[in-house]
Amino acid sequence: MPLCGLISPSCIYACTRFRVRRTTLLPREEYLRIMRMSIPEVVAHLGRREYGQELTDLAHDFSGAQLIEEAVHRNLAQSFRHAIAIAPGDLQTLTGEYLNRWDIANVMAVLRGTVHGIPRQQIRDLLIPAGEVDSALLDRLLRFTSCEEVLEALQGWRLYPVLAEYYRICGEQGVFARIENELYRQYYAGLLDLGSSGCSGCEELIGYLRFEIDITNMRNLLRLHCAKEACDIATIDRTMIPGGRIPIELFRRLYGIDTEDDFVNAFLATNIVPVLAQAIRELRQDPNFSSFDAAELVWRRWHQRRRPLHEVEVAVTRVRLHQLEALSRRHPFSVLPVLAYLERKRYEVANLRAIVRGKTFDLPPERIWQYIVL
Amino acid sequence: MLVDDIKPTRSGLLLVRRRMALAERIHKLLSMKLDGMMLELVKLTDRTAQKRRELEEKYNRAREMVAVAAMMEGATGVLLAALSVEMYPTYTAGHKNVFGVQLPDLEPVMVKKTLDQRGYGILGTSSVIDDAADAYEDLLEEIIASAELEGGVKRLLDDIERTRRRVNALELRIIPELKEARRFIEDQRDEMERQEWTRLRRIKKIKAKRRTGL
């Protein structure tokens, strides 16, 4: 698939538009200002920006933090659908594929809601139609009373084959978790396939995706290790996403390691350590924090069977986004500026949500600030 | 049989003495039971207070974890994970016997779950959801443990109250009444004995007078 291989004018135009849209996102100072506001002030402030229309539409049904969350989600969905619409040709295919993760969340919510008999309006409020499965189709899915009907209506969806293959008996214990995991695995496999088409910036995109997969796998391995019950190799295989730089074999080996030296040595060999060390350096303002310190920190959490620190996870996300933006500047007319915009928009919404939810729970501002991705 | 119905006879006295012995034995046993229950109550109250403090800590921790989860995943993400629950937590209710009092014995069922049992996919969620789920599972366990202890304290208090009323009734009403009845019967029997003795003397005198008159 020669995606923007010759850099067509439409591709240049679309990439420029995405770069311009990137500049319209909230800057750091704006977040600092919002942090000092009360919830009603935040609503009023966002109402004067691009979220005004959504806030007005939803003000009848929601209020406070819930109103802001619903409005920013609706705005996110609209922005992403607009992004799919303006991306030309194969760039559109890749953007659609990238946004498929929202469809997975929506489809799983509909299936679970259908099985558990949850009120349809409640499910509707949880859906964020930011992917290819649009609002009209989601509304239609919500009208069905059985999973078979939902599956039948989803036959045109990219990931339908996975759904059909792994779906056995609707309502069987644990089947949805398995389907969900498999959908995400297939999602990354599809993205890597598209990325290997040789387009401009695709090599970097694959590198970025593979790094994201490694981070996700390592995080999930820590989660599995923290669980009170020991998991078997089959569970690790089912949970790890293939295609990353770190082979799944290494994750299997890491899971069984019980000594510090072995763990630190194995972990230092991965590409996660430099990014983790950089993230912690920035988080703690400690320029002397080395890769070895980072590996030891992970070992301590691993040994104590504790999950990763949320602040560190957020810091790693910050570094990851900065890397993506650096890549997008290096390849200005490729798929990377599009993805950089989509990710930034996603985290703008996450930041606003974190601020208002943090304020609702009366968390101190410095604690809320740790969860902001800038 | 009421104390008033007892006749001032030897059999009545024996009956009162038997009832008196029984009442005193019951009083002693109930007093010992009351003391034992009081000791158990003190122990149980301490444990209940401790559990209540732990419950408050766990509640605060759960609130904090759900706040972080709502911040990172949004209320939507938290609700979506909550919707995935396939096995609802519950408990089995049994009883344990302490000094004849049936104290509740609650056992949590499917409260602590493994990652697989929670129903959400690992790839679609993050560790904040695990932390929130863990915190709420701990909270639920603590609520069940706390409910068991508080229910035990309540039942023990009810039984202490009932036993105390019985002890008081024995001590302040039944035993004094029986003592009164015994004294009354003894007095009556003494009186009857004196009357009999006087009657016999009088008959003896009459008989002696008749003999001298002949």
Provide DSSP, B5-48. Answer: G--SSHHHHHHHHHHHHHHHHHHHHHHHHHHHHHHHHHHHHHHH
pLDDT score recorded for residue A3: 47
User: Is a pLDDT exceeding 70 seen at residue B212?
Assistant: yes
Contact between B186 and B10 (Cβ < 8 Å): no
Place of tokens 């949805």: A176
Q: Three-state SS for B170?
A: helix
How far apart CA A60 and CA A43 sit, in angstroms, is 14
User: Is a pLDDT exceeding 90 seen at residue B136?
Assistant: yes
Interface of A with B in 128-167 (CB under 8 A): 128
Q: Three-state SS for B105?
A: strand
Q: Do A224 and B68 touch (CB under 8 A)?
A: no
User: Is a pLDDT exceeding 90 seen at residue B115?
Assistant: no
Structure tokens at B84: 């995935």
ipTM above 0.85, yes or no: yes
pLDDT score recorded for residue A1: 43
pLDDT score recorded for residue A193: 87
User: Is a pLDDT exceeding 90 seen at residue B42?
Assistant: yes
Closest by alpha carbon to A178, among B77, B120, B83? Answer: B120
Q: Do B84 and A177 touch (CB under 8 A)?
A: yes
Chain Cα centroid distance, residue A116: 26
How far apart CA B108 and CA A343 sit, in angstroms, is 43
Q: Three-state SS for B103?
A: strand
Closest by alpha carbon to B118, among A126, A313, A223, A65? Answer: A223
Mean pLDDT score, A49-53: 89
Closest by alpha carbon to A81, among A125, A20, A15, A128? Answer: A128
User: Is a pLDDT exceeding 60 seen at residue A213?
Assistant: yes
Q: Which of A39, A125, A126, A138 to mutate to test the interface with B (most CBs of B within 10 A)?
A: A126
Residues in B closer than 8 angstroms to A307, CB to CB, are 127, 130-131
How far apart CA A371 and CA A366 sit, in angstroms, is 9
3-state secondary structure labels for all residues of chain A: CCCCCCCCHHHHHHHHHHHHHHHCCCCHHHHHHHHCCCHHHHHHHHHCCCCHHHHHHHCCCCCHHHHHHHHHHHHHHHHHHHHHHHCCHHHHHHHHHHCHHHHHHHHHHHHHHHHHCCCHHHHHHHCCCCCCCCHHHHHHHHHCCCHHHHHHHCCCCCCHHHHHHHCCCCCCCCHHHHHHHHHHHHHHHHHHHHHCCCCCCHHHHHHHHHHHHHHHHHHHHHHHHHCCCCCCHHHHHHHCCCCCCCCHHHHHHHHHCCCHHHHHHHHHCCCHHHHHHHHHHHHHCCCCCCHHHHHHHHHHHHHCCCCCCHHHHHHHHHHHHHHHHHHHHHCCCCHHHHHHHHHHHHHHHHHHHHHHHHHHCCCCHHHHHCCCCC
Chain B residues within 8 Å of chain A (Cβ atoms) = 63-64, 67-68, 70-72, 74-76, 79-80, 83-84, 86-87, 112, 114-124, 126-128, 130-131
How far apart CA A74 and CA A135 sit, in angstroms, is 11
pLDDT in tens, A62-115: 999 999 999 999 999 999 988 988 888 778 888 888 888 899 999 998 988 888
User: Is a pLDDT exceeding 50 seen at residue B113?
Assistant: yes
Query: Å from A159 to nearest chain B CA?
Result: 15
Tell whether A118 is within 8 A of chain B (Cβ).
Answer: yes
Place of tokens 């990014």: A275
Closest residue of chain A to B133, computed from CA coordinates: A227
Query: Å from A329 to nearest chain B CA?
Result: 28
User: Is a pLDDT exceeding 70 seen at residue B3?
Assistant: no
Phi-psi region of B193 (alpha: psi -120 to 50; beta: other; left: phi over 0): alpha
Confidence at A2, pLDDT banded by 50, 70, 90: very low
Residues in B closer than 8 angstroms to A123, CB to CB, are 83
Which of residues A225 and B31 earns the better pLDDT score? Answer: B31
Q: Which of A69, A112, A175 to mutate to test the interface with B (most CBs of B within 10 A)?
A: A112
Output phi, psi for B90, to 5 deg.
Answer: -150, -165
Contact between A273 and A267 (Cβ < 8 Å): yes
Mean pLDDT score, A291-309: 86
User: Is a pLDDT exceeding 50 seen at residue A266?
Assistant: yes
The reported pTM is 0.84
What whole-number percentage of chain A has pLDDT above 70?
95
Question: Of B68, B118, B123, which has the smallest distance from its Cβ to A241's Cβ?
Answer: B123
Contact between B3 and B177 (Cβ < 8 Å): yes
Q: Do B123 and A181 touch (CB under 8 A)?
A: yes
Confidence at B38, pLDDT banded by 50, 70, 90: very high
Confidence at A171, pLDDT banded by 50, 70, 90: low
